[in-house]
Amino acid sequence: MQIAFEPYLLIALTIAILSLWKTYSGPMIAATLSYSYIEMLTFTVIPALFAAYIAWRLAPIYSELFRSKTKPAFKPRLKRFVKMWNTYGQVAMAILAPIIVGIPSYTFIAKQLNQNAVKTFSLLLASIIFWSSLAYFSLAFFNLEQYFAIEALLPQSLR
């Protein structure tokens, strides 16, 4: 499959944008369009880790800007997340981050809970690679292309 350079970059940018928050749709598009595994990982992992890094750096700034003078009440959603964090731990939350919680949300909350940066990003990297690989290979192995008409959504010039 010969792809022109401009459409290739457009598709790569689409995969990268989809991978900023969650990492299952980008690899499925890459598999459908016959991108290599290395290309898929490049267009998925780098943007996802970039979004995580930005969230990690913005967490203290966000906390400073919105810190109230009075002691805030413990919000129910945050209480539920912290309860899950305490019950299942950082590893389980890192595993679920790319598909349920969202990558920036996970790193933002990990920073707020004073977690180690190396451990946070290592777990997140492993989780992103795992879920991206699972999405990429399951599309081909289980022949899931018949359920996702991704090629039908693309303009003729990109196919």
As a whole number of angstroms, the distance between CA 45 and CA 131 comes to 11
Structure tokens at 103: 């990558």
The three-state (H, E, C) secondary structure of 22-76, written as one string? CCCHHHHHHHHCCCCHHHHHHHHHHHHHHHHHHHHHHHHHHHHHCCCCCCCCCCH
Q: Please name the residues in contact with 116: beta carbons below 8 A apart, sequence gap of 6 or more.
A: none
Q: Please name the residues in contact with 30: beta carbons below 8 A apart, sequence gap of 6 or more.
A: 15, 39, 40, 43, 44, 136
The boundaries of the domain holding residue 142 are 5-158
Q: How high does pLDDT run on average in the chain?
A: 82
Choose between 112 and 79: higher pLDDT.
Answer: 112
In total, the chain counts a number of residues equal to 159
pTM, full prediction: 0.78
Query: How many domains is the chain built from?
Result: 1
| Model confidence pLDDT, tens digit, residues 106-152 | 898 888 888 999 999 999 999 999 999 999 998 878 877 677 666 66
